Amino acid sequence: MLSYFLNSRLLHGQIDFDILVLILTVKILSRLMLQLAAVRKSFYAACNNIIAKSRGVMEPVAVQLVKSYCPPLLVYCVGGLGLTSSAIRQLSVCWNDAFKKIFYFKRFESVRALQIEFGSIDFQHLYVM
């Protein structure tokens, strides 16, 4: 469809760059959201698997397993995408949800103190690294 749009505009000698940039921006943003959905899906799958297999162990062991195996799934190739602040917040929610699930926290409760206690950092700092 984009090639048809370009060809018809070029044939008439009228190129509207604003519309072209808008179309490309929408396509790039929709692709970025799809890639983030795949990243979030793989993170939640790995995190749920680790937590399910470690139900009988103490919480520090489960935290260490999640800290060892799950952050690479969130940060792998994400640095090259140039994420927006809302995308960084979405991935930060994923990271916080892992701690909430281990310690049975409610959605509105903060896990920042737990992350500091266990020597973990929030996702925004992981993303910068």
How many separate domains does the chain show? 1
Please give the distance of CA 101 from its chain centroid, rounded to a whole number: 17
* Domain region containing 108: 35-128
Find the helix packing angle between 85-102 and 59-69, rounded to 10°: 150
Q: If pLDDT is split at 50, 70 and 90, which confidence band does 129 have? A: low
pTM value surpassing 0.75: no
25 belongs to a structural domain? no
The 10s digit of each residue's pLDDT in 24-64 is 455 555 555 557 788 888 889 999 999 999 888 899 999 99
1 belongs to a structural domain? no
2 belongs to a structural domain? no
3 belongs to a structural domain? no
Return the higher-pLDDT residue of 76 and 6.
76
The 10s digit of each residue's pLDDT in 82-118 is 777 888 888 889 999 999 999 999 988 988 888 889 8
> What's the confidence (pLDDT) of residue 22?
44
> What's the confidence (pLDDT) of residue 14?
47
> What's the confidence (pLDDT) of residue 24?
46
45 belongs to a structural domain? yes
20 belongs to a structural domain? no
40 belongs to a structural domain? yes
42 belongs to a structural domain? yes
Instruction: Tell the burial category of 85 from Cβ atoms under 10 Å away from its Cβ (0-12, 13-18, 19+).
Output: exposed
